Amino acid sequence: MNDHRTTTLDKTTRLGLIALAVIQGLALLILHLAIEHEHWLAADPRWLKALYTVALALPAFYLLGMVQLRDRLNALALLLAPLLFWMGWHLGWAEQALEPWEQHSFTFSFGAALAVALFILALFFRSSAACKGWPTRYLPLLSLAWELALTLLLLGLFMGVFWSLLWLGAALFAAIGLSVFDTLFGKPAFVYPVTGLVVGLALVMIRSRYRLIQSVRQMGEALIKALLPLVALIIVLFFAVLPFTGLQPVWDTGRASSILMTLMLTLLLFFNVVFHEPHAPAPYPAWLGRLILLAVALLPVGSVLAAWALWLRIDQYGLSLDRLWAALLQALTAAFTLSYSLLLLWRRGSALQSLQRANILLALLVAGALMLVNTPLVDMRHWVAQHQIKRLMEGRTAVDTFDVNYLRFQLGQPGVLALQALEDSEFAEAHPALSRRITLSLRQAERWSPEPLVDADDLGEVAQQFNVRSENAVLPEALLTLLAGQTSTCLSQVEPCQAVQPSGEAAFQWLIYEPYNTAGQAYAVLEGDWQHIGTLSPLGGTQAQHDLACQTVQLPEDLQRLPEVVNVYQGGNCLYSLQPTLESVRQRLSIRK
């Protein structure tokens, strides 16, 4: 049943929305073909990401936020185009130093933040267009938020069913030998325009049936009303038992703070859904309502606990991109929890209207913050890189443990620029090993490339790729020649491999450990030549309580062969097993003969 409100889509607006969706599909098709044919747009990630951002975000904003095609306010939204282009350009610039598969994390966080920000802005834009002025009332905004969210949900469901039916039909025809539909439905020239057309038609149908949205909303509100007391009870009970259990279990799990944050956000969302009518009858009995209000008033305690847990990690390991994103989300959540708690304690019975006004301001704060952190003005990747280098220079991070690869391959172009500045600094000159690691890392085209980073013919360069752990020991030139000739993975890594010369009785003279590997490669002299004779792997401890410690990276030096067990060695409290290579076994058999 159609709704005949003044905000119902007129015929011109419907046609305009459908045309806009088709234009968006064609624009995405052009970008797809540019990548497929290796056009210069696809070769430069800055142009590619900028154009994709505009092609995806701007039409989506209009499809959700437009009320009337001829509204002058629509022209104002065009100001988003240069902002979106700038944000996409910066994303492409930051991803230049990354491999394609590593760019997905940047693109995902960018897309998620931009989607939330544009949802909020589309909400205010549509409300402004409907009421012919800046929205100041909360209830119309809440209704529009429900409408936009349910519209997206129904649109996604419709598109999923549509394409499932097409694929089923193509498979059915392919089963009788007609593969033309299977081929057609997989062509970009069909997928993009048809998807755009169907999105436009479905969106117009959904937006024209406001009463359907209202019915789904009422069902959703009823379910949320039933669940809100449960969420409140869980949070109140958690805070009630926390003084008896202490905070250490929270820190030990590593997940308690994120679970608590999820429950806090759920409580805030459910509270706003249920308590949205200032003058309506109480939705719960008085005792249950007080329980819910108590849970909301206690939310700042959860924000403090989550921030404390995050700070402990940052203080121990420094900032990372994930931790900085977590800090931003916690700060935004704390703005809500603190505002709610203070207003409930201060205004009490009349707090609901104040909370609704606060929601309007806080929603704009969230949208602004999420867009700002994706611009060059507040680039969190730059902050993380500078913070990690500052910790290094202040001595809070040891030179040997400084993660060069994190800056090079997980912070994109800001990390590369920070490493280049560090390489040219006096600090790097005073630490040649660090300078070498930076140089090798910047030399890498791909993080896991098997290509050597040093000249395999220069044994001096090869030797620098191995850190000899045994005192007064030097890797023999013949062994270095063998390692270089085998194109050892140690030559293609930034972090040096560890070389250990066992002091006890063993069937090998040297063990080579790659970074972060618990198994060592054993080398020995057979018939006058150095040979790779096997792999030494940790088995466990001589007693069960030592198993966990012995499974970590070990560099055993005092190894003794156990005569009772074949190819088993003991070093301290740990046991190791030597898995020989087939070639070494054959060579030993030939020696016996």
Per-residue pLDDT, averaged over 149-171, amounts to: 92
Rounded Cα–Cα distance for residues 560 and 562 (Å) = 6
**What is the per-residue pLDDT for 135?**
76
Confidence at 344, pLDDT banded by 50, 70, 90: confident
Which tens digits make up the pLDDT trace of 239-270?
A: 898 888 877 776 666 677 788 888 999 999 99
Calculated CA dihedral for residues 311, 315, 316, 319, nearest 10 degrees = 80
- The token pair that represents 360 in the structure block: 């309007």
Per-residue pLDDT, averaged over 564-569, amounts to: 82
Confidence at 6, pLDDT banded by 50, 70, 90: very low
> Is residue 144 helix, strand or coil?
helix
Neighbours of 202 (CB within 10 A): 20
pLDDT for residue 194 is more than 70: yes
pLDDT for residue 543 is more than 90: no
**What is the per-residue pLDDT for 554?**
65
pLDDT for residue 593 is more than 60: no
- The token pair that represents 11 in the structure block: 């015929």
Contact 72, 129 (CB under 8 A): no
Which tens digits make up the pLDDT trace of 395-404?
A: 898 888 898 9
Per-residue pLDDT, averaged over 349-368, amounts to: 88
Which of 238-242, 377-381, 504-508, 577-581 has the lowest average pLDDT?
Answer: 504-508
Confidence at 232, pLDDT banded by 50, 70, 90: very high
As a whole number of angstroms, the longest Cα–Cα distance in the chain is 99
Per-residue pLDDT, averaged over 538-554, amounts to: 77
pLDDT for residue 319 is more than 60: yes
Greatest mean pLDDT range, 5-14, 244-253, 280-289, 385-394: 385-394
pLDDT for residue 1 is more than 60: no
Per-residue pLDDT, averaged over 316-344, amounts to: 91
Q: Tokens 């007129």 label which residue?
A: 10
Confidence at 200, pLDDT banded by 50, 70, 90: very high
**What is the per-residue pLDDT for 14?**
92
**What is the per-residue pLDDT for 557?**
65
**What is the per-residue pLDDT for 571?**
82
- The token pair that represents 560 in the structure block: 């003794």
Per-residue pLDDT, averaged over 152-181, amounts to: 90
Contact 235, 270 (CB under 8 A): no
Confidence at 5, pLDDT banded by 50, 70, 90: very low
**What is the per-residue pLDDT for 54?**
96
Greatest mean pLDDT range, 108-112, 275-279, 352-356, 568-572: 108-112
Per-residue pLDDT, averaged over 128-147, amounts to: 82
pLDDT for residue 58 is more than 80: yes
Rounded Cα–Cα distance for residues 151 and 213 (Å) = 8
DSSP lists the bridge partners of residue 575 as 540, 570
Which tens digits make up the pLDDT trace of 427-477?
A: 999 999 899 999 988 888 777 777 888 888 888 888 888 988 877 788 888
Give Cα 469 distance to the centre of its chain.
37
Which tens digits make up the pLDDT trace of 170-191?
A: 888 888 888 888 888 889 999 9
pLDDT for residue 8 is more than 50: yes
Smallest Cα–Cα separation from 494: which of 465, 470, 473? Answer: 465
Per-residue pLDDT, averaged over 25-39, amounts to: 91
**What is the per-residue pLDDT for 492?**
85
Confidence at 553, pLDDT banded by 50, 70, 90: low
pLDDT for residue 23 is more than 70: yes
pLDDT for residue 155 is more than 60: yes
Confidence at 118, pLDDT banded by 50, 70, 90: very high
Per-residue pLDDT, averaged over 575-581, amounts to: 88
Residue 496 per-residue DSSP state = P
Smallest Cα–Cα separation from 560: which of 584, 579, 544, 578? Answer: 578
Per-residue pLDDT, averaged over 369-386, amounts to: 94
Give the count of alpha carbons within 13 A of 108, CB side only: 8
Exposed, middle or buried by CB within 10 Å (0-12, 13-18, 19+), for 44?
middle
Separation in Å, CA 456 to CA 31, 451, 480, 487: 43, 11, 9, 8
Confidence at 379, pLDDT banded by 50, 70, 90: very high
Of all residues in the chain, what percent carry a pLDDT higher than 90? Answer: 39
Rounded Cα–Cα distance for residues 147 and 127 (Å) = 12
**What is the per-residue pLDDT for 253?**
67
**What is the per-residue pLDDT for 18?**
94
Confidence at 2, pLDDT banded by 50, 70, 90: very low
Per-residue pLDDT, averaged over 276-292, amounts to: 84
Rounded Cα–Cα distance for residues 294 and 346 (Å) = 14
**What is the per-residue pLDDT for 400?**
85
Q: DSSP for 291-304? A: HHHHHHHTHHHHHH
Average model confidence (pLDDT) for the chain? 87
Q: Tokens 């500052």 label which residue?
A: 390
Name the strand (E) or helix (H) holding 537.
strand 529-541
**What is the per-residue pLDDT for 462?**
87
Contact 335, 365 (CB under 8 A): yes
Separation in Å, CA 172 to CA 165, 177, 186, 540: 10, 9, 15, 56
pLDDT for residue 131 is more than 80: no
b or e along 175-187 (b: 16 or more beta carbons within 10 Å of the residue's beta carbon)?
eeeeeebbeebee
Neighbours of 205 (CB within 10 A): 14
